[in-house]
Chains A and B, each alone.
Chain A
Amino acid sequence: MRQQPTNETAGLRPKDDAQPPYLYPDYVATRLRAPKKPLIILPKALSDTTGPAYGRQSIGESDSDLTRQHEGEPLGERIIVHGKVLDGDGRPVRNSLVEIWQANAAGRYTHHLDRHHAPLDPNFGGAGRCRTDGEGLYRFVTIKPGAYPWKNHHNAWRPAHIHLSLFGPAYRSRLITQMYFPGDPLFGQDPIFQSVRDPKARERLISSFDLETTEPEWALAYRFDIVLEGRDATPMEDH
C-alpha cells in the first residue's frame, strides 16, 4: 500500500512522486529545516534547462579508486561500484562528473565532526570522483562502508551507504543521493531511507549484487543505475 506523507502541506508534496517530502518528522533534522510555504512553480527556461559542465575539471587516475589514494591499502571488503546514468529522456548522461563520499569499513568518516567511536583508517579518505564515459557508464573501486550510529532516535543506525552527487544535462537534473546495499537489515528503522514513501522508488536506492562484474580473487561488485530528471520531462516507469 502506498503511504502518503501525512504532515506535508499540499504545496510541498513533491511533484515527482519518487522524491521524498521536505518534512519527514521521523528524520528529526527535517523538523526545523523543511520549508513550509508552498513552492513557487518555476516555468521551464534557459536558467534551468542549461547546466554546468562541471565535469570538465581534470580527474586524476586514483580519483575513482579509493583503495589507491594512500600509501597502503585500506581495511575492509574491496568492491567495485558501477552503473549507468540516464537522463529523464532515456539518454545516457555522457562525460558528466560523479562525486562520491562514504564512511570507512568501520563506519567512520574522516570528517572532523564525526565522533563515532570507531577507528579511522589512515589508508582511506572516503572521497572519489569520476566522469561517465560515452555510454553514461561510471565505475569506482572502493571498500564496503560500515553501518554507523547516529543520534536521530534511541539506538539509531544508518544502513551502509555511499553518497553520490550528479549533474546531468541541466540545472534541473542536479541530484545528490545515497546508494544502499541489498538486504540491509537496517532499512526498516532508517528514516532517511524510509522518507521515500513509494516502495518502488525506494528500491531504486538499493544497488544490486553484480556477479558478472565481480573480479575473481579480487573484488565483489555492485551495480547502481541512476535516472535523473531530464530537460524535457519527468521520466516514467516502464510497465
Chain B
Amino acid sequence: MGSATTPSQTIGPFFHDALLDEDRSELVPPDHPQAIRIEGTVYDGTGDPVPDAMVEIWQANSAGRYDDPEDDRKDLPLDKGFAGYGRSDTVNGGEFSFVTLKPGAVPGPGDQPQAPHIMVSVFARGLLRRVVTRIYFPDEEETNSSDPVLSSIDDPELRRTLIAVDEGGVLLFDIRLQGDNQTAFFEFSDE
C-alpha cells in the first residue's frame, strides 16, 4: 500500500505574479522597536546564486505562541497583526530578506523546550519538492546547545549551517542547496 498524497512538482520559474504580487517579506514594519532583519543568499552546487527561488518562513511570535488554533496555549499572548508567515523572492543575485520579530522558545517533541527558531522552506526551479530548514539565533548559545533538533545533528559543520550569523545587527543566513558546505535540510517524521 502506497501513500495517497498528491505528489509535489517544482514551482518553476514563473510564479512571481501569483505568489509575490505584493511584498510579503515584512512581517512587521521596519521601524517596529523589536524588528530584526534576516538576509541571505540561496546558492546552488557550484556556488552560484539562485535568482529564481522563493523562500518562505513560519514562526512563533515573541512570546513563543503560533498564530494557529492548533497552538492552544492560551496563557501565552497572541500578537494581533503578527501572523508569523512571510515570503521572499531571490530575484537580485539570489538574495532574500525578511523583517520580523525574534520568536520566543517553543516546546518540542515530548514537551522538551526548543531554542527559538524559524521554519524555512525553499522552492525553486530544479527543486521537485521544497527543502525545509530552520534559522536559529547566534545569541542563544545556551538554549541552542540543549535544543533537541540541533543536538540530533552529529556533524558540527552541518549543525552550524542552521545558526544565523550576526553581522552588524543583520542576521545573515545563507542557504546552500548542494556541496561540501550544504545547509542541513529536514524531513518531517510521522512521530
Contacts and interface: CB of A to CB of B under 8 A. Distances in A.
Interface of A: 14-22, 24, 27, 29-37, 39-54, 56, 88, 99-101, 103, 109-111, 113-114, 125-129, 161, 163, 165, 169-172, 174-178, 192-193, 195-196, 198, 200-202, 204-205, 226-229, 231-239
B80 to A, nearest CB: 12
A17 B3 contact: yes
Interface of B: 1-19, 21, 44-46, 48, 50, 52, 56, 58, 60, 66-68, 70-71, 83-85, 106-109, 114, 117, 119, 121, 123-132, 134, 148-149, 152-153, 158, 177-178, 182-191
18 contacts: A16-B3, A18-B2, A18-B4, A18-B7, A19-B5, A20-B8, A27-B128, A30-B126, A45-B106, A52-B84, A52-B85, A101-B17, A111-B16, A113-B52, A127-B17, A163-B9, A169-B70, A236-B4
Given A45-B114, A52-B58, A34 B126 contact: yes
Contact of A29 (B2, B117, B126): B126
The 9 closest A-B pairs by CB, nearest first: A29-B126, A52-B85, A101-B18, A33-B126, A127-B18, A50-B68, A43-B109, A39-B187, A20-B128
Contacts of B107: 45-46
Contacts of A174: 56, 121, 130
A180 B52 CA distance: 23
B189 A42 contact: yes
